[in-house]
Structures are given as structure tokens and as C-alpha cells.
Amino acid sequence: MPATDAPPMVRLRGVQKHFGALHVLRDVDLDVAAGEVVVVVGPSGSGKSTLCRTINRLEPVASGEVLVDGVPVPAEGAALARLRADVGMVFQSFDLFAHRTVLDNLCMAPVMVRGIPKAQARTEAMALLERVGIADKAGHFPAQLSGGQQQRAAIARALAMKPKVMLFDEPTSALDPEMVAEVLAVMTSLAEDGMTMVVVTHEMGFARRAADRVVFMDAGAIVEVAPPEQFFAGGGSDRTRSFLSAVL
């Protein structure tokens, strides 16, 4: 659970974003405390991915503030690269490097970006593979792994950079149903270990169990923010209630 008086790990203030004529983020304000797990839900096209991507500036914003650990996200250059090293991201598609082993996938960025000695990077990577339950796959190539194993490798790869915050954008949406649970279990254990997490997902069970707060987005705006027990009780706005009746 988040400490009450710590400065937020992520702060969005008055964030506006357009794609041409489309207003995709409408005056978005959100604070994510250190150690907090925020689950973002909402209909397809409501701006959830865009919100996630503004946090590490994969999407620049037209106006408003984005801060990570109290520092405004830089527009470009080395400062932006440093920021991105602190913000781990896991997507729907596992996007591991296909021609590298799982172990190499985990070691590349720590060695090249953080300047960690190779031997140390390998030791730390093996510990992470152990943690996500695929240490036996270290020498395999991504295509030799199941989807669930690949996504666990992708999570371990993001963790190898020792990020301050982890962003997950529908990390289980591309998985066969029997593999969803193993990925959610890894995410739940990360949450329990105190990782700051922003998770876009349609897995309402995960939101109930793991979220400190649920954010409901609709048409580019944050419509509701509530602890899961309150959010799922359905006492919120009409839009929230109609969304819940469609997904529950």
C-alpha cells in the first residue's frame, strides 16, 4: 500500500492529447503514489493505451504536465532515455528480440544502457527468470516459449532495468486463456512486493484483487477513480455502471 505523504511516483496534470481532430486525452489528472497499483479500465478506444504511453513519452502531449518521481518527463535526448530506463513497459505483444536467447533479452539493456558488467547482468537476470518461474528457459529463443512464458520473460526483461514504475498495457490480452493466470500471478507478486504499477487490463478479477485504485476512462477522460471495492459496487456514474454491466 502507498505511503500517505510520499510525493507521487507518477503525476499527470491537465494532460491534453489530440490525434488530428480526435481529442484522445481530455484534461487528465492522475497521481500514482510510490508502491501503488492503479488499474485502468474502460471501453476500447477510450485512451487507456495513450495514457500509458504519455508516461514515458512514447506519446508527446499537447499541454499539461507529466512527472515521474518528481521530475518533468524530458522531451528528447539523453534525459528522455534515462527516464525511459526508469519506466518499465510491458505490452500486449511480448516483443522480445526473436534472435536472442531469453537470457540475452534480459541482459542487453542493463549492459548497454546501465553499463552493468556482463557477469553481474547475467546473475541478476537468472534471479529474475527464477522469480517469474522460467529459469529453465534461459538459453531458449522466444519462439520456443509459450505465450505465457514469453510474457513472463518480457516482464523479467523490464524488471532487469530496475524500473521505478512498471506500465502494463493489456499484458494478457493476446494470451490463450490457460496462460492468463500465470502472468497475472507474476504481476500480483510484483504488486505485493511494492512495485509502483499502472495496469491497463480487462481482467476485472485482477483489478479487484491487486488494485489500490481503479481508474475508469471513457472518451479520453477519467470519469471515475475509486478503490476496487467501491468501484465494483457500482455506485458510480451511469457510464461506469453501463461499462460494469457489460464486463461483469
Q: What are the DSSP E strand ranges found in 157-220?
A: 165-169, 196-200, 213-218
Q: Which of 10, 12, 24, 161 binds ligand ADP (CB under 6 A)?
A: 24
All three cell numbers of 152? 513472463
DSSP string of 229-243? HHHHHT-S-HHHHHH
- Coil, strand, or helix at residue 44? coil
Which one of ligand ADP, Mg ion, none interacts with residue 24, CB within 5 to 8 A by kind? ligand ADP
Q: Which is nearer to ligand ADP, 48 or 239 (CB)?
A: 48
CB of 57 to ligand ADP, least distance (A): 14
Q: What is the C-alpha separation between 167 and 234, in angstroms, rounded? A: 26
Which stretch in 2-10, 19-27, 139-147, 187-195 sits in contact with ligand ADP by CB under 6 A? 19-27
202 makes contact with ligand ADP (CB under 6 A): no
Of 3-11, 41-49, 76-84, 188-196, the window that binds ligand ADP (rule: CB under 6 A) is 41-49
Instruction: Decide whether 16 or 146 has the Cβ nearer to ligand ADP.
Output: 16
Which residues contact residue 157 at a Cβ distance below 8 angstroms, ignoring those fewer than 6 apart? Answer: 96, 105, 106, 109
Is position 245 an interface residue for ligand ADP (rule: CB under 6 A)? no
Pick the binder of ligand ADP from 31, 35, 45, 202 (CB under 6 A): 45
62 touches ligand ADP by CB under 6 A: no
Residue 47 sits in the site that holds ligand ADP (CB under 6 A) = yes
Q: Can residue 201 be called a binding residue for ligand ADP (CB under 6 A)?
A: no
3-class DSSP state of 50 = helix
In angstroms, the CA 28 to CA 179 distance is 33
Q: Does 46 bind ligand ADP (CB under 6 A)?
A: yes
Stretch that binds ligand ADP, among 40-48, 72-80, 113-121, 202-210 (CB under 6 A): 40-48
Size of the site for ligand ADP (CB under 6 A): 11
Closer CB to ligand ADP, 107 or 204, in the complex = 204
- Taking the CB of residue 219, how many other CB atoms lie within 10 A of it? 14
Cα-trace Rg, the chain: 18
Contact 31, 8 (CB under 8 A): yes
Q: Find the residue with minimal CB distance to Mg ion.
A: 49
Residue 110 or 171: which CB sits closer to Mg ion? 171
Strand 71-72 with 63-68, pairing:
antiparallel
Within 8 A by CB and 6+ apart from 209, the residues are 188, 228
Which of ligand ADP, Mg ion, none does residue 133 bind to, with CB < 5 to 8 Å depending on kind? none
Question: Based on CB atoms, which residue is closest to Mg ion, 49 or 240?
Answer: 49
Sheet holding 196-200, edge to edge: 87-90, 165-169, 196-200, 37-41, 213-218, 221-226
CB of 42 to ligand ADP, least distance (A): 6
